[in-house]
Amino acid sequence: MPTPEFIQDLRRDIGKKELLLPAVTAVVIRRADDAAAMPSAPEVLLVKRADNGDWGATSGIMEPGEGPATAAVREVAEETGVVARPVRVASVSDHGLVIYPNGDRCRFTDICFEMEYVSGAPQVADDESTQVGWFSSEALPEPFTRHHRQRIAAALNSGAPTTFDA
């Protein structure tokens, strides 16, 4: 995933020191309106990451001045070509310390949204993923991004209160 320009600017000033970054995960769900139209289990839109080959929900870093819901909508459109709308905040979690191969250190505070599918056919829309598609929530592909199983479970629990993971 390409490093946003504002982070590259920060890195010139602070080097490899740890950054706390706001991030979003957008769990786009397609639920059956009619039992005959779709399988009983909801479907989840997933991307296969180009950097590590793991499957997961669409996610990314918020841009300066961008609200979390706007970032979630943008990330889905940029990565999959799909239009989705935020339904609710499903979870808020600490992604933990990430140390990249170049030595950069980051912690991501992730806001996960339950998103409703609006329109569009899933497609690889940028260089961050190699595949995109709908999957039954009962049969997620492997390998899978570590934190995303919990985030998807929280999003699928429609109407439940937001979960918080310390």
pLDDT, tens digit (0-9, with 9 covering 90-100), for 17-69: 999 999 999 999 998 764 455 557 999 999 999 988 999 999 999 999 999 99
pLDDT at 29: 97
The residue type found at 122 is P
13 located within any domain: yes
pLDDT, tens digit (0-9, with 9 covering 90-100), for 101-133: 999 999 999 999 999 999 999 999 998 899 999
98 located within any domain: yes
Token representation of residue 71: 């970032």
pLDDT at 143: 94
Domain containing residue 83: CATH number: 3.90.79.10
Per the structure, the count of domains in the chain is 1
18 located within any domain: yes
166 located within any domain: no
Token representation of residue 64: 């300066």
34 located within any domain: no
What lies within 8 Å, CB to CB, of 45 at 6+ separation is: 28, 29, 30, 57, 58, 76, 80, 82, 84, 117, 122, 132, 133, 134
145 located within any domain: yes
Residue 9 phi/psi, 5-degree rounding, is -65, -45
Which ranges constitute the DSSP H helices of 81-147? none
Q: Are 57 and 114 in contact (CB under 8 A)?
A: no
- Quote the domain boundaries for residue 81: 5-29+41-159
142 located within any domain: yes
Q: Are 68 and 24 in contact (CB under 8 A)?
A: yes
Least confident of 35-44, 85-94, 149-158: 35-44
